[in-house]
Structure 1
């Protein structure tokens, strides 16, 4: 990068602001451990959300959801 005079873009430190910052554990417990595996599609869905910093200084949510049934 130095030879080509390229410089890495270093994003600013990003800390999302939430409405409740002292809410206990940051990871939810697994509610599916003691349940039987799903037997059909649309019985159990899992999801997660994260924050993405944007180049203009704002941020956006990225949410992903997936059906747990392996043959769905």
Structure 2
């Protein structure tokens, strides 16, 4: 039916996230806890991390 009307279906390109630059080699964060005295009680040192997770609907969490 499309050929008879000389129409072409448009296919959207697949989404490919570009978040990693592999040619730079591994980067390691500085460990600032090595220069500190050992903590003696809770709640003296806090650390965190950022992680991106792909969801089933195509978005990121």
Q: Which TM-score band (shorter chain)?
A: 0.5 to 0.7
Give the distance between the partners of 1:52 and 1:15, measured in 2 at CA: 14
Residue matched to 1:41: 42
Residue matched to 2:57: 56
Deviation string 1:39-58 (CA, Å, 9 cap, x unpaired) is: 11110011111000000000
Unaligned runs of 5+ residues in structure 1 are: 1-11, 17-24, 61-72
Q: Which has the higher contact order (CA 8 A, sep 6+)?
A: 1
Q: Describe the shift of the 1:45–1:39 C-alpha distance in structure 2 as closer, same or farther (beyond 3 A).
A: same
Q: List 4+ stretches of structure 1 deviating above 3 A.
A: 12-16
Query: With structure 2 as the length reference, what TM-score do the two structures score?
Result: 0.53
> How many correspondences in the alignment?
41
Unaligned runs of 5+ residues in structure 2 are: 1-14, 20-25
Give the conservation status (yes or no) of the 8 Å contact 1:14–1:53.
no
* Larger relative helix fraction: 2
Q: Which structure has the greater CA radius of gyration?
A: 2
